[in-house]
Each structure stands twice: as structure tokens, then as C-alpha cells.
A and B are shown apart, each in its own frame.
Chain A
Amino acid sequence: NAGVTQTPKFQVLKTGQSMTLQCAQDMNHNSMYWYRQDPGMGLRLIYYSASEGTTDKGEVPNGYNVSRLNKREFSLRLESAAPSQTSVYFCASSERGADNEQFFGPGTRLTVL
């Protein structure tokens, strides 16, 4: 089992460019999450998907969109990247809700110039 996989591992964008971060899990988990991690600020929830077919905003959703493509895959899209979106992005999954252990992917380091 690969667990949670993310692509790409690194990305450099120019301001205004768009991109999609891909995430997939093979643990048959219902819930999936996108976080960003900035120095000194901990992990902040961008969007989550409670189950296949549903998505909801987290703490910092502005500038992002998500798609829960199927039970396995949950993508994060930046439509017009800004330097403030420079961060490390982690996808995570859990069996059911935040009361359960969350399993994290390896992360994507994004730099927006």
C-alpha cells in the first residue's frame, strides 16, 4: 500500500499562473483534507471532503478550489497563484472525520514568484 501520494513534489510558479495539486489514497478512507504549512503557523486546513461527492471550506480557502474526483482522489487547484500561496501543501486522509488518525502525504513545496 502506498498510503497517501501527492504530485508534484516541488513546483515553482509565476504570479498569476494556475496549477493543480493531485492527491490519491489507497486506504479506502472516506475523508480527505488539504492543508498548508507555513513557518511558525502550523498546519491550516484549506478544504476538506467528508465523503465522496462532498467538499467544504476550511480555515483558509480563499484562492483555492478543490475536486473530489472519486473516493481515492482529491485535487487542489490554484487558479491564479499569488506569492502569499508559497507554502508546503499536505494532503491527508482519515477513515471518517477528524476524530480519527489522519494519514499525510509527502507534501508539495510550492514557490510563487
Chain B
Amino acid sequence: QKEVEQNSGPLSVPEGAIASLNCTYSDRGSQSFFWYRQYSGKSPELIMFIYSNGDKEDGRFTAQLNKASQYVSLLIRDSQPSDSATYLCAASPGGFKTIFGAGTRLFVKA
């Protein structure tokens, strides 16, 4: 069974702090990795994707990939209350299938 594992949280950080979200995946054939944000009662929306080992930065968000350790992370700098949501990690081996983690709930305290 191919899996993506995430800590369910909640992860609570103060406003302005760095939030660090992590996930691991079991399928070594995974090639593409995604972070989706999902507000309560809403649909997921993509915030970052990463294909290569290393870091990828986009504004306040940095995605990190380590294929040897089968580990993906998302850093959110200067966290804002509006960042409070569930963050879904996803991995795809290519083709048309994506395995999603169950998500980590993030709460940013004002």
C-alpha cells in the first residue's frame, strides 16, 4: 500500500513565527510532490510543487525534498492567522494517480 504520512496536528505557532510541516512517502517511484492548502469546508488549492531534491522558494513558502530519505517538508515564514488551515502533502509516481496524506492542521495564533 503506497502511503503518504503526515502528523495530523494541530500544529500551533504564534503569528510571525515559522511553521514547519513534514511528510514522508513510501513509494520510491514518486517523482512529483505537492502541498495543497485546504480551509475548513473548502476544496484543496495548490500552494507549492517540487520535483527535484533541494529547496524551492515562493514568497513566504519553501518546499524541501529529500528523495533519499523520502521526506518532503513545507516551511511557512512570517505565519499569519490566514495561514490557519489543513495542509495536504501529495506524491505522484507519474501517470494519473496521486497519493494524498491525511493532512496537518495548522493554527496560527494572533
Residues of A within 8 A of B (CB): 31, 33, 35, 40-45, 48, 50, 56, 58-59, 90, 97-99, 101-107
State whether A106 touches B42 (Cβ < 8 A): yes
Give the number of residues in B that approach A within 8 Å (Cβ atoms).
Answer: 24
State whether A98 touches B98 (Cβ < 8 A): yes
Contact of A98 among B4, B32, B44 (CB under 8 A): B32
Which residues does chain B contribute within 8 Å of A101, judged by CB atoms? 34, 46, 49
> Nearest chain-B residue to A101 (Cβ)?
B46
State whether A45 touches B4 (Cβ < 8 A): no
Contacts A40-B102, A42-B103, A99-B31 known; A31 to B96 CB distance under 8 Å? yes
State whether A43 touches B100 (Cβ < 8 A): yes
Complex interface: stretch among B10-18, B57-65, B74-82, B87-95: B87-95
Q: Is B55's CB within 8 Å of the partner chain A?
A: no
Other A-B pairs beyond A42-B101, A42-B103, 15, CB < 8 Å: A40-B8, A40-B102, A42-B102, A43-B44, A43-B90, A58-B97, A97-B96, A98-B92, A98-B98, A99-B51, A104-B43, A105-B43, A106-B42, A107-B42, A107-B43
